[in-house]
Amino acid sequence: MSFDVVIVGGGPNGLMLACELALNGVRPLLLERRTGPSTEQRANGLVGQIVPMLHRRGLYERLTGRPGGPEPAPGHVFGAFALHLAGISDNPMHILLAPQQKIESMLAERAAELGVQVRSGHELTGLDQKDDRVVADVTGPDGAYRIEARYLVGADGGRSVTRKLTGFAFPGVTDDHSVSRTAVVDVPAELLDPETGGLLIPGYGRVPPFQHHRTERGMVAFAPFPDGRKLITVATTARPAGDAPVTLAEVLDTLHYVLGVAVPLRPPTGPEPHTLRRLAGGNSRIADHYRRGRVILLGDAAHVHSAIGGPGLNLGLQDAINLGWKLAAQVHHRAPAGLLDTYESERRPVAERVVMHTQAQSVLAGPGPAVTALRALFAELLEEEAVVRRLAALIAGTDFRYDGVAGLAPDLGALTHAGRPLLVDNTGTLAGTVAPWRDRVELVTASLPSGTAMLVRPDTYVAWSSDDPVPDTEGLVTALTRWFGGPQLSI
């Protein structure tokens, strides 16, 4: 059996890549070792520019169940500090609360619509690279078999089998000190703060919702989700993990230690799954390369980091959107030299920034008097709007610009749903210039907030733009060739 692309891992990142490949004319095979939806509660939503990006693919309304696009969030958190963003012009922060199971379900539905083949209960057990293909050993419900693919993408998480079998190094650091405990709980009505929706605890005070609340002994986060679930997470360095399975009593005992008072939370009564987990320590690591020959790493397989601030799916799903059109061009033999290499050169620096700021946030949110002194200084810095604006862009992922790319295009509505390259020409002068690329690039007119023309990559980044009534076409031809290959010889 031979395929153009095999994706190992059917989580959000693998499904997103499958959708992006399918939009660009490649039908991948997706292998997922699970036989059904995961019951483990992981991410609880999306934070950053991935939220408007899903809207650009026509997927945002599927998650929200309501018409209209996303609006900037009035606030977020950084290192257990509240970021007040309501008065910030061009606020880049977007938040969409949705459990990971719902995100996966939506992406799986979209992948099925696009004709993606998914094999559940199939696990990668070995691989061998040849000059022109990858040979993969797979074990499924009916036994072991072998498949070949021109490319194989590992989207199989932080413990990636793909990464290990291919021999990628995974350098970084491990923090063994802090232990976090999380549980879905039932909250007595008298403990709910009617003003904020957070907790109002006798003998202690307020714990705001959807924020990291730091004390000298640790950190607490309380999340009352729109679907009725109420999640409590408590982290500290003073309570070792132990070997016994985590219990709600252990979570509440740790909460008592961190806050200094007992909080009478109760076992959940709503529909399952009821999250109850303990995580000891954490890793911050980035693979030495994102690609070795015909094997490519995606999402957590390429990078892991603290979950503080919720950047994980923003990073991984954006990886998929960046990789999809480039890998499809490679499969279709129309990629310019070096295009596939730009996946790593563009996305690795973004991962490095996420690792940097999540490590910084973990220090700022940690216990102890030295951290308290650091926080006092940081609180003064947060009085400056420029600092708040910069932190918001850092968390949203809009502070980094790819080499030779002008930044994100404005919202072009349904024009970006198909994931095709676009030349927006409001001058009526560029049809002849783009004609040799019309098999790859769609010529359109659209409302622009400024400028007269722009070339938009499938990931909606601007590769070229002009403000002139009659644009200079030399730069346009250079950009077309750089990103989409040489001109078609006969048109």
Provide the pLDDT for residue 63: 93
Q: Give the C-alpha separation, 282 to 178, whole Å.
A: 8
Provide the pLDDT for residue 39: 58
Q: Give the C-alpha separation, 62 to 337, whole Å.
A: 37
**Region(s) of the chain under CATH 3.50.50.60:** 3-172+284-396
Q: Give the C-alpha separation, 218 to 197, whole Å.
A: 22
Q: Which two tokens stand for residue 148?
A: 């070949």
Provide the pLDDT for residue 40: 61
* Phi/psi at 188 (5° precision): -55, 140
Alpha helix segments (H runs only) across 365-456: 369-381, 385-396, 431-434
Mention the CATH class of domain 175-282: alpha beta
Q: Which two tokens stand for residue 21?
A: 């490949």
Q: Give the C-alpha separation, 321 to 227, whole Å.
A: 29
Distances (CA, A) of 436 to 188, 234, 445, 471, 473: 67, 59, 18, 18, 13
Q: Which two tokens stand for residue 422?
A: 């676009």
Question: CA 191 from chain center: how many Å?
Answer: 34
Pair 488, 481: CB distance under 8 Å: no
- Burial (Cβ within 10 Å: 0-12, 13-18, ≥19) of residue 241: middle
**Region(s) of the chain under CATH 3.40.30.120:** 407-484
Strand bridging mode 230-236 / 218-224: antiparallel
Q: Give the C-alpha separation, 252 to 233, whole Å.
A: 10
Distances (CA, A) of 385 to 314, 358, 392, 396, 420: 24, 21, 10, 16, 37
* Phi/psi at 152 (5° precision): -130, 130
Q: Could you tell me the pTM of the whole model?
A: 0.92
CATH topology of domain 3-172+284-396: FAD/NAD(P)-binding domain (3.50.50)
Provide the pLDDT for residue 491: 43
**Region(s) of the chain under CATH 3.30.70.2450:** 175-282
Provide the pLDDT for residue 371: 93
* Phi/psi at 379 (5° precision): -60, -35
Provide the pLDDT for residue 176: 74
* Phi/psi at 374 (5° precision): -60, -40
Buried b (16+ CB within 10 A) or exposed e, 102-131: ebbbbbbebbeeeebebbeebbbeebebee
Mention the CATH class of domain 407-484: alpha beta
Question: CA 71 from chain center: how many Å?
Answer: 18
Provide the pLDDT for residue 464: 97
Supply the DSSP string of 129-184, one letter for each residue. E-SS-EEEEEEETTEEEEEEEEEEEE---TT-HHHHHHT----EEEEEEEEEEEEE
Print pLDDT tens along the chain (491 aa): 789 999 999 999 999 999 999 999 999 999 999 987 765 656 778 999 999 999 999 999 999 999 999 999 999 999 999 999 998 888 999 999 888 889 999 999 999 999 999 999 999 999 999 999 999 999 999 999 999 999 999 999 999 999 999 999 999 998 878 899 999 999 999 999 999 999 999 999 999 998 899 999 999 999 998 888 899 999 998 888 888 999 999 999 999 999 999 999 999 987 777 889 998 888 999 999 999 999 999 999 999 998 888 888 999 999 999 999 999 999 999 999 999 999 999 999 999 999 999 999 999 988 889 999 999 999 999 999 999 999 999 999 998 889 989 889 999 999 999 999 999 999 999 999 999 999 999 999 999 999 999 999 999 999 999 999 999 999 999 999 999 999 985 44
Please name which of 340, 21, 44 lies closest in space to residue 210, comparing C-alpha atoms. Answer: 44
Q: Give the C-alpha separation, 123 to 143, whole Å.
A: 10
Residue that the structure tokens 């977007």 belong to: 94
